[in-house]
Amino acid sequence: MKILHTSDWHIGRTLYGKKRYEEFEAFLQWLVETIQMQKVDILLVCGDVFDTGNPSNRAQELYYRFLCDVANTCCRHVLVIAGNHDSPSFLDAPKALLRTLHVQVIGSTPLKKEEEVLVLYNREEIEAIICAVPYLHDKDIRTAEAGETIDDKNAKLVEGLKKHYEEVCSIAEQKRRGRPDIPIIAMGHLFTAGGKTVEGDGVRELYVGSLTHIELDVFPSCIDYLALGHLHIQQYVGNQMNRCYSGSPIPMGFGEANQEKRVMLLEFNDAKPTILELSVPCFQQLVRIVGPLETIQAKLNALQEEHSQAWLEIEYTGKDLIPNLRELLDESLLDSTMEIRRIKNKQVMDRVLNNLSKEETLDELSEQDVFIRCLDAYKVPEEERKELIESYTEIVQALQEDDANAE
């Protein structure tokens, strides 16, 4: 039995206003071809299918066309869980229809945990048991109480996650009926302790005012493979090969430009997986150039000689003031198919703002950064800030998790 693990597609995401549908379409076509070539039996999609809870018509078209294409391959089962970027009710809405294509979707957290435990059959034989746990919202795993400290909240969140996985895995073990040759595979969308991120990847902290990153001991030992989503760098949790993030299949920002993107191919003989990392082709080159003008020009010339079609992020760090930097660089690329998506010219902003230590634009700041600037502007005393920041962060998370598609 072969299983392919992928996550964090973020269909519909833009890059500094540039739409990326051609990249998403190319990846999904490659994925269909890979499923067929590798003779994959089960596909796991571990959350953040879309970049927003209200995906565009084009994003939806790509998703549903992909599911139809997979239905015409050797793949017998497709399992999709919601991530923190997804609307649970949007993913759930067509689940009865998708079941006819052998696609099972868990968007919202079911009232009965048995509904998260999916027994997969090959003809009449059980071939795997999947604990399809979607992104667990704060309200799914923690009851708020008056007077709680942030440490109390964090402890409750960790305990709630642990209890949830213990319960679904207990159900899975019951369904396995004492047959250790049947693998138990758990899916999840969360942030584990020690997880790696990069600047500009859009990965959010998941819980209120918290760095609640989940330790490995939260997950029961009966799990033969833990398929995770949320972090965009492919990585293993605690150096255990059977606890894994597949990472995003295309770079979400220039911080991921030099990463080799992957999906995970598992082959099970009994319950022990052999794990193979499959490299995803680069469908759109991203290049970040940092340095003085001569360094930037030299790199641009080298890319032009390669007939590159890269999208560029350029950060000028030279000492000379060049107010027309954009015009100079655009002129040098007139005969090129490359596109400059962003230019950071620190010298101009430093001169204008009396040598501030860092140029900041709104798209570089998080919601919390902006709130802290407001606290600074109004000279709020340090002793009052912690409670204000916690309350503000809780409000922001509630807005992010509000399911606009729910009735």
Q: What percent of the chain has pLDDT over 70?
A: 90
On whether both 93 and 222 belong to a single domain, the answer is yes
Query: Which tokens sit at 280?
Result: 């995803």
Residue 178 lies in a domain: yes
Type of residue at 372 = I
pLDDT tens string 227-244 = 999 999 999 998 899 999
Domain assignment of residue 317, yes or no: yes
Are residues 267 and 319 part of one domain?
no
Mutual angle of helices 325-332 and 293-305, in 10-degree steps:
20
Same domain, 166 and 308: no
Domain enclosing residue 377, as ranges: 367-401
Residues 145 and 177 in one domain: yes
Question: 247 and 133: one domain?
Answer: yes
Give the pLDDT confidence score for residue 288 in this predicted structure: 95
**What's the token pair of residue 331?**
């002129």
Q: Are residues 154 and 264 in the same domain?
A: yes
- Position 205 in a domain: yes
Q: What is the DSSP secondary-structure string of 350-377?
A: HHHTTS-SS---GGGS-HHHHHHHHHHH
Q: Please, where are the H alpha helices in 72-112?
A: 88-92, 95-98
Residue 194 has pLDDT above 70, yes or no: yes
At 251-282, the pLDDT tens digits run 999 989 889 999 999 999 888 899 999 999 99
Domain boundary residue, one of 279, 312, 327: 279
Angstrom distance (rounded) from CA 340 to CA 351 = 24
What is the number of domains present in the chain?
3
For residue 407, being part of any structural domain is answered with: no
Domain boundary among 247, 279, 311: 279
Q: Are residues 140 and 274 in the same domain?
A: yes
Which pair of tokens denotes residue 106? 């868990």
Q: Is 383 in the same domain as 244?
A: no
Q: Classify residue 351: in a domain, yes or no.
A: yes
Q: Which of the four pLDDT bands, split at 50, 70 and 90, describes residue 212?
A: low
Distance CA 275, CA 242 (A): 8
CATH number at residue 291: 3.30.160.720
Based on the domain organization, do 235 and 292 belong to the same domain?
no
pLDDT tens digits, 125-174: 999 999 999 999 888 888 877 777 777 888 888 899 999 999 999 999 99
Mark whether 208 and 259 lie in a shared domain. yes
Residue 393 lies in a domain: yes
Residue 406 lies in a domain: no
Are 219 and 304 contained in the same domain? no
**Residues 181 and 297 reside in one and the same domain:** no
| Domain assignment present for 65 | yes
Across 32-40, average pLDDT: 98
Q: What are phi and psi of 154, to 5 degrees?
A: -60, -45
